[in-house]
Amino acid sequence: MNIGDVARQSGVPPKTIRYYEDIGLIRPNLSENGYRAFTESHIHKLAFLGRARALGFTIEDCRTLLSLYEDENRESMQVKAVAEDHLRQIEEKIAKLQSMRATLAELVEKCAGDHRPDCPIIEDLSPERLAK
């Protein structure tokens, strides 16, 4: 199967598939004409990767998860560890963003948004000592 078909069936764009090959996530065969030749198994792996990426796992996490996916003797605790770690990082990001949102929302609300220059947003960003 050619890369275009695989892209359609896995949901992973051709460019990305080539990139995944570059970094060693998948290893398609080469056919005589120089085209990559993919199998069903490649489609599965790519779809797997697509979902893992959609859940925000890093490429390195994906590498680990893919090897666990292929490993009949994996222990679910290995998978769980990766996922829990990722979950923690997502929660940290959410916390950071929520704190930003809180500050921003407050500032935006306080800002008149008219034609005058006075602006609580600018003031908040300015070093207070200027007020001296």
Positions touching DNA (CB under 7 A) are 2-5, 7, 13-16, 18-19, 32-36, 53, 58-60
Q: How many residues bind its own copies (CB under 8 A)?
A: 54
CB of 4 to its own copies, least distance (A): 19
> What number of H helices and E strands is found in the chain?
6, 2
Q: Which residues contact 120 (CB under 8 A, 6 or more apart)?
A: 107, 110, 111
CB of 10 to DNA, least distance (A): 12
Indicate the Cα dihedral angle 100, 105, 107, 112, nearest 10°: 160
CB of 97 to DNA, least distance (A): 14
- Within residues 35-94, the interface with its own copies by CB under 8 A covers 43-44, 47-48, 51-52, 55-56, 65, 68-69, 71-77, 79-81, 83-84, 86-87, 90-91, 93-94
Q: Residue 71 half-sphere exposure, CB side, CA atoms within 13 Å?
A: 12
